[in-house]
């Protein structure tokens, strides 16, 4: 089943293709931070035999029988009955029509026995023996073909996802309050999650969003609960049921939704449940405590304003102060920033620089180089806006998913001092439930007695 953002599948993606971690109302309207690398296909297995475009109908591998692409079961039945050929694990074939076209061409070039395993039935009756042929991924050529089709499908899905993420011409209506939304798809999805507690997942994890919403709307129009899938007599009864039973979510076991979640296209033959449930295999007992060969990879953090990298926080801070006039330790001390405020400040600056906008004067530039030149000449790198501008929950989420600078921020005693300056120190009071006993055992009694004896 697909991966709705529910308790059953809360760990679905946390990150968007634009480098922003999604959640807490952070949509995908911002300009993308990361570019999806194009996936290139290897040459088709079997030399010159390549994969053609999928036709509207699919032919039989052996004859001219054709069926609609959506009715592949009919073709499989025909191949078993008429040609005694079975295709193993059909559900793991990412593109069935292209798969059939490939093998139709290969079988025309070579005998079927060169590719398929032969299964003999009625072996005890020599005169009535039948041979069936099994086409499966034990054959290296078939395995490579399936993997190639999977990569091609993943490439198409990522391109579609990228297009939807940056599409601001989306038009949709809320399924619960009939309010219409224009612009980016995330506006509608975030509205339903925030106002109606209906969350089908983070926008960046969804593909073919319009079709997905139409599928859900059709179920509601048919008075069907989206979670338990029971049908009710009228709309009000359905609404009360979904509200009282907390069924404002989709059924995680309904495989109909699989095609709308990117995670289901990531690995050949694995659903989102299998991907999520994968754990490290247990090591033998004698290896569990042996970490002697572990070599830590140095963390390389990137400057907030340029591409300079440094392996230590101290080196990077010296660079930012010398090259850009930005003294992070000094700002941390003067503002009394705790660890989480440092995180939000870094994410805020990262986003402003990515968008080529000066946070000191709010002027936007055509390139980061122009922005950097302006901020250094005008000394705007240290001209931070008011704390309330960047000390917001949305900046808990990294602008870049691999921002190592966030991992090097200190959580030292100075942070505790900063908390004291901000009035955030937690004070634990004494137990006053036995006040009389507390007065008798107090150390103040001894101090008072000592002073009286002195006088």
Is the per-residue pLDDT at 102 higher than 90? yes
Closest by CA position to 53, among listed 108, 102, 106, 98: 98
396 neighbors 346 (Cβ within 8 angstroms): no
**Taking the CB of residue 454, how many other CB atoms lie within 10 A of it?**
6
pLDDT of residue 213: 92
- The top-scoring range by mean pLDDT among 23-27, 97-101, 272-276 is 97-101
What would the DSSP string read from start to end of 291-357? -TT--PPPP-EE-SSSS-EESSHHHHHHHHHHHH---HHHHHHHHT--HHHHHHHHHHHHHHHHTTB
pLDDT in tens, 420-448: 444 444 444 455 555 666 666 666 666 66
Work out the end-to-end distance of the chain between its first and last CA atoms, rounded to an integer number of angstroms.
Answer: 84
Q: What is the mean pLDDT of residues 80-105?
A: 89
Most confident of the ranges 25-39, 123-137, 154-168:
154-168
Mean pLDDT to the nearest integer, 280-293: 51
Question: For residue 52, what pLDDT band results from cuts at 50, 70 and 90?
Answer: very low
| Two tokens, residue 408 | 């090097």
Whole-model pTM: value is 0.44
Backbone angles phi, psi at 62, to 5 degrees: -110, -25
Percent of the chain with pLDDT over 70: 70
pLDDT of residue 9: 38
Residue 258's DSSP bridge partners are none
Residue 436 to residues 216, 359, 431, 432, 433, Cα–Cα distance (Å) = 66, 59, 11, 9, 9
Q: The dihedral of CA 171, 257, 247, 224: what is its sign?
A: positive
φ, ψ (nearest 5 deg) of residue 11 = -90, 20
């Amino acid at each position: 089943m697909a991966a709705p953002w529910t308790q059953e599948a809360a760990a679905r993606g946390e990150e968007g293709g634009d480098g922003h971690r999604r959640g807490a109302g952070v949509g995908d309207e911002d300009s993308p931070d990361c570019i999806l690398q194009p996936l290139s296909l290897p040459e088709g297995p079997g030399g010159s035999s390549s994969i053609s475009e999928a036709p509207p109908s699919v032919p039989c591998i052996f004859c001219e029988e054709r069926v609609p692409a959506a009715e592949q079961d009919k073709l499989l039945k025909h191949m078993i009955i008429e040609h005694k050929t079975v295709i193993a694990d059909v559900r793991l074939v990412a593109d069935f029509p292209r798969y059939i076209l490939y093998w139709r061409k290969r079988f025309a070039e070579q005998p079927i026995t060169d590719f398929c395993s032969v299964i003999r039935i009625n072996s005890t009756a020599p005169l009535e023996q039948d041979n069936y042929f099994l086409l499966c991924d034990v054959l290296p050529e078939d395995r490579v073909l399936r993997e190639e089709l999977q990569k091609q499908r993943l490439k198409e899905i990522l391109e579609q996802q990228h297009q939807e993420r940056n599409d601001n011409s989306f038009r949709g209506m809320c399924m619960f309050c009939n309010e219409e939304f224009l612009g980016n798809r995330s506006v509608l999805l975030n509205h339903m999650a925030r106002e109606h507690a209906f969350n089908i997942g983070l926008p960046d994890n969804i593909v073919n969003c319009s079709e997905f919403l139409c599928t859900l709307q059709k179920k509601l129009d048919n008075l069907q609960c989206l979670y338990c899938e029971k049908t009710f007599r009228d709309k009000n009864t359905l609404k009360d049921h979904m509200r009282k039973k907390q069924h404002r979510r989709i059924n995680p076991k309904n495989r109909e939704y699989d095609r709308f979640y990117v995670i289901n296209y990531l690995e050949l033959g694995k659903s989102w449940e299998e991907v999520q449930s994968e754990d490290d295999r247990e090591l033998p007992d004698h290896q569990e405590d042996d970490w002697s060969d572990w070599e830590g990879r140095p963390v390389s953090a990137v400057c907030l304003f340029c591409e300079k990298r440094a392996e230590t926080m101290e080196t990077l801070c010296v660079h930012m102060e010398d090259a850009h006039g930005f003294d992070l330790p000094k700002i941390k001390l003067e503002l009394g920033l705790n660890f989480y405020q440092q995180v939000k400040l870094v994410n805020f600056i990262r986003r402003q620089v990515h968008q080529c906008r000066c946070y000191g004067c709010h002027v936007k530039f055509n390139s980061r180089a122009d922005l950097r030149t302006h901020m250094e000449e005008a000394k705007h790198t240290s001209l931070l806006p008011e704390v309330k501008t960047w000390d917001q929950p949305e900046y808990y989420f990294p602008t870049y998913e691999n921002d190592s600078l966030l991992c090097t921020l200190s959580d030292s005693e100075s942070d505790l001092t900063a908390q004291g300056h901000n009035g955030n120190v937690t004070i634990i009071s004494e137990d006053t439930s036995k006040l009389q006993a507390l007065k008798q055992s107090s150390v103040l009694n001894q101090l008072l007695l000592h002073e009286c004896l002195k006088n």
